[in-house]
Amino acid sequence: MQTDSSFTFVLFGGTGDLSMRKILPALYEAHRAGGMLADNGKIVAVARHVADRAAYIDWVNEHVKPHVSKNGVDETAWASFLDRIEFVKIDLGNPEDFTLLRDALSGRPGIRVFYLATGPSLFVPICRALASVGLNENSRIVLEKPLGYDLKSSNAINDAVGEIFAEEQIYRIDHYLGKEPVQNLLALRFGNVLFEPLWRREWVESIQITIAEELGVEARGDFYDNTGALRDMVQNHLLQLLSIVAMEPPHSMDSDSVRDEKLRVLRALKPIDPRDIGKVAVRGQYHAGVIRGSAVPAYATEPGVKPDSTTETFVAVKVEIENWRWAGVPFFLRTGKRLADRVAEIVVNFRAVPHSALGASALRGGANRLVIRLQPNETIRLYCLAKQPGEGMNLASVHLDLAFDRFFREGQMEAYQRLLLDVINGRLALFVRRDEQEAAWRWVEPILNEWAAANKPPKPYAAGTWGPAAASAMLAQHGTCWLEEEN
């Protein structure tokens, strides 16, 4: 990940929540590690609510510093990191202000990275303003989700941005693709002869992908109420994870080889007949409940949420892939807020043995499974059956555990750190290509349209549970259940 490339990293939304919690801490960690960022690389923050650089540095010290380094801040590294930061005050609604940015960037060597940590409504105006002052040349643009509200609006944004930046200049970020276990999933599949022969319909019974949150909508009620879990999580994070799990081995790890294989998966997703959506998709909304001993309110009473809102905070959906490798294997995706635990994981349930001389316990489904946990602790576990000590042939579940923090002495790289370094170094493999995004929207839209047309309220679930009972019933029809007991 080391580079000698000169760069200027321009951060729009420099005082926003994403900049505070993720982007600036990730850049600090890369700086602190040494050698990852060119010595003359600069960070230029853009905002309108701060008077000047001194005031911005004060803001960074107060708001960003608490979010860096789990083991404490290296004050020497922090001071030299602040030396990298510059500031330009711009009203993003005034294109003429962009001449100030052009002048601030004039004569700087190396690549320019523009990170749009803003609302999607500002993506096109910012790109047009950058082009108006000639800053779209020799540059890369990073777009945060959500990129549109549906396929039509997503295409409109992509069309407008594509008139200004070439596709190889556009980095559509999905931070789940930068997580260490997702990278290890690729290593596990394509670096070992052991797993790849089993990674197909003959040996896999079902696959689950879960992204569960204990938190509610927090201060994002107004945004979330116009978005919902299907747009916020399924269309991007969950379908991207599915494509990584199900893709064919790429020719190499270059950007187009990887993304071509992901695209083939997304285009092979079995279209959902609107008449069957009630059978394969469950949506819910959390009501008041208890999480870790504390009472939490219902979604409809959260600030910024309409009292009669029908926005979903939970989605579970069954997905099928119409190709040779995965025909007949159900993929179950699940995400929700105010659930019983904070966890993101991929569960590969292998088929039971066809015949057992060791008793019925060896015939149960899921006895062999691979659990790839993305958060909170990043691990890979392989479960199998072994004989219990003592008389008789009694079997019990045991597991092989790869806990990265115990196995590797050096600290793991956070997802945003990896992805920001990839942008600076021009590596596109972990970013979403336009045709991938279109394929995901195209598959999701029938669900969105059916839910909007039906105008029915989501199924209620108590905060602190695992969502509506209908989500468990959907899996029960296939003789399986959600994995919920792991810690």
How many residues are there in the chain? Answer: 487
Residue 200 and residue 396: Cα distance in Å, rounded?
A: 26
Q: Residue 399 catalytic?
A: no
Query: Which candidate in 237, 251, 287, 399 is catalytic?
Result: 237
Residue 396 and residue 361: Cα distance in Å, rounded?
A: 8
Pair of tokens at residue 241:
């994870």
Dihedral angle sign, alpha carbons of residues 280, 283, 288, 290:
positive
Residue 358 and residue 301: Cα distance in Å, rounded?
A: 54
Residue 16 and residue 6: Cα distance in Å, rounded?
A: 26
Position 378: which residue type? E
Pair of tokens at residue 212:
């569960």
| SS3 of residue 311 by DSSP | coil
- Helix axis angle, 24-33 to 75-84, nearest 10°: 120
Residue 366 and residue 383: Cα distance in Å, rounded?
A: 9
Look at strands 111-116 and 294-296 and give their pairing: unpaired
Active site positions, annotated = 237
